[in-house]
């Protein structure tokens, strides 16, 4: 995968280019670059203006609200049955991180995607997500232990006596 490192304040953000840039915006950028020619700066930014300069961050933030409003109230079509709620760009970032953590993606991987210099930052910000889903860990462990115990019981029926049962070694 073509990966690019972007510098953020105090950290490095590793972004999979194919995951970030859709084909249409990339084609637009290449067309803009062809028009500008030698004057196109070699900034290697993923999102640029028509002259190759980086897009001001507030532009993308404002665009998020415009896209949501346009979806909820289209000019030519009827409104969607379930409109999108108001969301800031940062809200989408938090949804992204939360869904990754709920799906079981390791914290250090989520931290790298978010550009956090240290996974401890991600742990502090998303501790509530991790705690909420940690409650289910005991159930997963119990199921795994029960499965292991039943597998061992089936194995014991076929094996010769190899010593005392593990339960005999645990004081009651």
> Taking residues 66-79, what's their average pLDDT?
86
- In the chain, domain spans: 1-55, 56-86, 88-160
pLDDT (0 to 100) of residue 16: 52
pLDDT for the residue numbered 21: 42
- The pLDDT value recorded for residue 125 is 94
* Structural contact between residues 12 and 19, judged by C-beta atoms closer than 8 angstroms: no
pLDDT at residue 156 in the model: 63
Tokens of 11: 């950290």
Selected residue with higher pLDDT from 78 and 107: 107
What's the gap between Cα 153 and its chain centre? Answer: 41
Confidence grade of residue 20 (pLDDT, cut at 50, 70, 90): very low
Between 97 and 24, the more confident residue is: 97
* Residues pairing with 3 in the sheet: 16
Average pLDDT over residues 23-40: 85
pLDDT at position 82 is 92
Torsion of CA 15, 17, 21, 25, to 10 degrees: 130
* Mean pLDDT of the residues in the chain: 79
**Residue 44 Rama label (left phi>0; alpha psi -120 to 50; beta):** left
Coarse DSSP helix, strand, coil percentages of the chain, rounded to the nearest 5 percent: 60, 10, 35
**Angle (nearest 5°) at CA 135 between 134 and 136:** 90
How far is residue 46's CA from residue 26's CA, in Å, rounded to a whole number?
Answer: 8
SS3 6: strand
**Burial classification of residue 4, based on how many CB atoms lie within 10 Å of its CB (0-12 exposed, 13-18 middle, 19 or more buried):** middle
For the entire predicted model, the pTM comes to 0.55
- Among 40-44, 95-99, 140-144, 155-159, the minimum mean pLDDT is found in 155-159
Residue 8 φ then ψ, to 5° = -120, 175
pLDDT at 26 over 90: no
Residue 159 has what pLDDT?
A: 56
- The pLDDT, as a whole number, for residue 94 is 93
């Amino acid at each position: 995968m073509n990966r690019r490192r972007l510098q953020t304040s105090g950290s490095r953000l590793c972004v999979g280019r194919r995951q970030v840039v859709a084909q249409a915006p990339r084609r637009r950028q290449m067309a803009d670059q062809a028009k500008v020619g030698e004057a196109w700066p070699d900034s290697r930014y993923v999102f640029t203006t028509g002259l190759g300069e980086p897009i001001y961050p507030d532009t993308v933030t404002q665009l998020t609200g415009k896209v949501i409003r346009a979806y909820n109230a289209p000019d030519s079509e009827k409104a969607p049955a379930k409109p999108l709620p108001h969301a800031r760009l940062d809200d989408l970032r938090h949804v992204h991180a939360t869904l990754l953590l709920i799906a079981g993606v390791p914290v250090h991987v989520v931290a790298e995607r978010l550009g956090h210099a240290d996974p401890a930052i991600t742990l502090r910000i998303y501790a509530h997500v991790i705690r909420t889903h940690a409650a289910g860990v005991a159930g997963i462990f119990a199921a795994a232990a029960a499965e292991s115990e039943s597998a061992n019981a089936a194995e014991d029926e076929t094996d010769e006596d190899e010593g005392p049962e593990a339960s005999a070694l645990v004081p009651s």
